[in-house]
Protein backbone atom coordinates (compact mmCIF):
# COMPACT_ATOMS: atom_id res chain seq x y z
CA UNK A 1 0.00 0.00 0.00
CA UNK A 2 1.16 3.50 -0.77
CA UNK A 3 0.05 6.75 0.85
CA UNK A 4 0.36 9.56 -1.69
CA UNK A 5 0.48 13.24 -0.77
CA UNK A 6 0.41 15.84 -3.52
CA UNK A 7 -0.31 19.46 -4.25
CA UNK A 8 -0.72 21.70 -7.28
CA UNK A 9 2.98 21.28 -8.13
CA UNK A 10 3.12 17.49 -8.05
CA UNK A 11 3.85 14.63 -5.70
CA UNK A 12 5.11 15.83 -2.33
CA UNK A 13 5.64 12.50 -0.63
CA UNK A 14 4.86 8.79 -1.08
CA UNK A 15 5.13 6.36 1.80
CA UNK A 16 5.09 2.63 1.12
CA UNK A 17 3.72 0.43 3.88
CA UNK A 18 5.97 -2.55 4.53
CA UNK A 19 4.54 -5.91 3.54
CA UNK A 20 2.82 -7.58 6.48
CA UNK A 21 2.40 -4.32 8.43
CA UNK A 22 -0.98 -3.05 9.57
CA UNK A 23 -2.37 0.45 9.18
CA UNK A 24 -2.97 1.94 12.61
CA UNK A 25 -3.36 5.36 14.18
CA UNK A 26 0.31 5.11 15.17
CA UNK A 27 1.27 4.44 11.54
CA UNK A 28 -0.63 7.54 10.41
CA UNK A 29 0.80 9.63 13.24
CA UNK A 30 4.35 8.69 12.18
CA UNK A 31 3.42 9.24 8.53
CA UNK A 32 2.23 12.79 9.24
CA UNK A 33 5.49 13.52 11.08
CA UNK A 34 7.47 12.36 8.00
CA UNK A 35 5.20 14.41 5.73
CA UNK A 36 5.66 17.51 7.85
CA UNK A 37 9.45 17.16 7.67
CA UNK A 38 9.24 16.89 3.86
CA UNK A 39 7.09 20.02 3.65
CA UNK A 40 9.44 21.99 5.88
CA UNK A 41 12.45 20.90 3.80
CA UNK A 42 10.60 21.87 0.61
CA UNK A 43 9.50 25.26 1.98
CA UNK A 44 10.78 26.31 5.44
CA UNK A 45 8.23 29.16 5.48
CA UNK A 46 5.38 26.62 5.39
CA UNK A 47 5.89 25.86 9.08
CA UNK A 48 4.47 29.32 9.83
CA UNK A 49 1.50 28.89 7.48
CA UNK A 50 -1.74 27.02 8.01
CA UNK A 51 -1.39 23.94 5.84
CA UNK A 52 -4.59 22.33 4.61
CA UNK A 53 -5.15 18.67 3.90
CA UNK A 54 -8.05 17.19 2.04
CA UNK A 55 -9.52 14.38 4.12
CA UNK A 56 -8.80 10.85 3.13
CA UNK A 57 -9.26 7.53 4.81
CA UNK A 58 -6.50 8.22 7.32
CA UNK A 59 -8.11 11.42 8.56
CA UNK A 60 -11.52 10.12 9.51
CA UNK A 61 -12.58 11.55 12.87
CA UNK A 62 -12.53 8.16 14.59
CA UNK A 63 -8.76 7.96 14.09
CA UNK A 64 -8.00 9.96 17.24
CA UNK A 65 -4.23 9.47 17.21
CA UNK A 66 -3.88 10.64 13.59
CA UNK A 67 -6.22 13.60 14.14
CA UNK A 68 -4.25 14.61 17.24
CA UNK A 69 -0.98 14.52 15.29
CA UNK A 70 -2.45 16.74 12.57
CA UNK A 71 -3.54 19.26 15.21
CA UNK A 72 -0.09 19.15 16.85
CA UNK A 73 1.55 19.83 13.49
CA UNK A 74 -0.86 22.75 12.82
CA UNK A 75 -2.59 21.20 9.82
CA UNK A 76 -6.19 22.08 9.11
CA UNK A 77 -8.48 19.61 7.37
CA UNK A 78 -10.73 20.79 4.61
CA UNK A 79 -14.26 19.91 5.64
CA UNK A 80 -16.02 17.31 3.52
CA UNK A 81 -19.08 15.25 4.26
CA UNK A 82 -18.09 11.67 5.16
CA UNK A 83 -17.57 9.18 2.34
CA UNK A 84 -17.47 11.61 -0.57
CA UNK A 85 -14.85 10.23 -2.96
CA UNK A 86 -16.01 12.67 -5.63
CA UNK A 87 -14.73 15.54 -3.44
CA UNK A 88 -11.31 14.07 -2.57
CA UNK A 89 -8.86 15.25 -5.28
CA UNK A 90 -6.89 11.98 -5.22
CA UNK A 91 -10.05 9.99 -5.93
CA UNK A 92 -11.28 12.08 -8.86
CA UNK A 93 -8.01 13.38 -10.31
CA UNK A 94 -5.03 11.27 -9.37
CA UNK A 95 -6.14 7.66 -9.05
CA UNK A 96 -8.62 6.91 -11.91
CA UNK A 97 -5.96 7.12 -14.65
CA UNK A 98 -3.43 5.50 -12.33
CA UNK A 99 -5.72 2.48 -11.93
CA UNK A 100 -5.93 2.20 -15.73
CA UNK A 101 -2.12 2.39 -15.92
CA UNK A 102 -1.79 -0.47 -13.41
CA UNK A 103 -4.49 -2.65 -15.00
CA UNK A 104 -3.10 -5.95 -16.19
CA UNK A 105 0.43 -5.31 -14.93
CA UNK A 106 2.17 -7.82 -12.72
CA UNK A 107 5.10 -6.91 -10.52
CA UNK A 108 7.52 -9.51 -9.24
CA UNK A 109 9.11 -7.41 -6.51
CA UNK A 110 8.27 -4.43 -4.32
CA UNK A 111 11.06 -2.48 -6.01
CA UNK A 112 9.51 -3.12 -9.42
CA UNK A 113 6.12 -1.89 -8.22
CA UNK A 114 7.61 1.18 -6.55
CA UNK A 115 9.57 2.05 -9.72
CA UNK A 116 6.37 1.81 -11.79
CA UNK A 117 4.42 4.00 -9.34
CA UNK A 118 7.12 6.66 -9.17
CA UNK A 119 7.64 6.57 -12.95
CA UNK A 120 3.94 7.06 -13.57
CA UNK A 121 3.65 10.07 -11.27
CA UNK A 122 6.91 11.57 -12.58
CA UNK A 123 5.50 11.50 -16.13
CA UNK A 124 2.42 13.55 -15.23
CA UNK A 125 2.64 17.23 -16.09
CA UNK A 126 2.40 20.00 -13.52
CA UNK A 127 -0.86 21.00 -15.24
CA UNK A 128 -2.39 17.66 -14.28
CA UNK A 129 -1.81 18.30 -10.59
CA UNK A 130 -2.82 21.96 -10.77
CA UNK A 131 -6.01 21.17 -12.70
CA UNK A 132 -6.96 18.54 -10.11
CA UNK A 133 -6.68 21.05 -7.28
CA UNK A 134 -8.50 23.73 -9.29
CA UNK A 135 -11.38 21.32 -10.03
CA UNK A 136 -12.06 20.94 -6.32
CA UNK A 137 -13.93 24.27 -5.99
CA UNK A 138 -16.19 23.40 -8.93
CA UNK A 139 -16.92 19.95 -7.48
CA UNK A 140 -17.68 21.41 -4.02
CA UNK A 141 -20.13 23.88 -5.56
CA UNK A 142 -21.75 21.13 -7.61
CA UNK A 143 -22.13 18.96 -4.48
CA UNK A 144 -23.76 21.89 -2.67
CA UNK A 145 -26.16 22.54 -5.55
CA UNK A 146 -27.05 18.81 -5.57
CA UNK A 147 -27.72 19.05 -1.80
CA UNK A 148 -24.91 16.65 -0.92
CA UNK A 149 -25.64 14.08 -3.60
CA UNK A 150 -22.76 12.54 -5.53
CA UNK A 151 -21.13 14.83 -8.08
CA UNK A 152 -20.26 11.99 -10.47
CA UNK A 153 -23.22 9.82 -11.35
Local confidence band at 135 (pLDDT 50, 70, 90 cut-offs): confident
pLDDT reading at 32 higher than 70: yes
Separation of alpha carbons 64 and 27, rounded Å: 12
With b for 16 or more beta-carbon neighbours within 10 A and e for fewer, the 35-47 pattern comes to bbeebeeeeeeee
Instruction: Tell me the pLDDT tens digit for each residue of 110-122.
Output: 999 999 999 999 9
Question: How many CA atoms lie less than 13 Å away from 111 in the CB half-sphere?
Answer: 0
Structural domains of the chain in order of their starting residue, each with its CATH number? 2-145 (3.30.420.10)
Q: Are 46 and 73 in contact (CB under 8 A)?
A: no
Distance CA 98, CA 91 (A): 10
The pLDDT of residue 127: 94
Examine the pLDDT at 125 and tell me if it is beyond 80.
yes
Q: What is the largest CA-CA distance in the chain?
A: 47
Least confident of 23-27, 84-88, 116-120: 84-88
Flag whether pLDDT at 21 surpasses 60: yes
Q: Residue 61: is its pLDDT beyond 60?
A: no
Q: Tell me the average pLDDT across 25-50.
A: 74
Contacts of 6 (CB under 8 A, 6+ apart): 12, 89, 90, 94, 129
Residue 61 CB neighbour total at 10 angstroms: 10
Amino acid sequence: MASVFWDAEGISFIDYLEKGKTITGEYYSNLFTKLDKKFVRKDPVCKRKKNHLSPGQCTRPQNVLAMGKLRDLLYKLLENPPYTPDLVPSDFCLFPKFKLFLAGQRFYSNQEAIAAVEGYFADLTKNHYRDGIMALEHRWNKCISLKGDYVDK
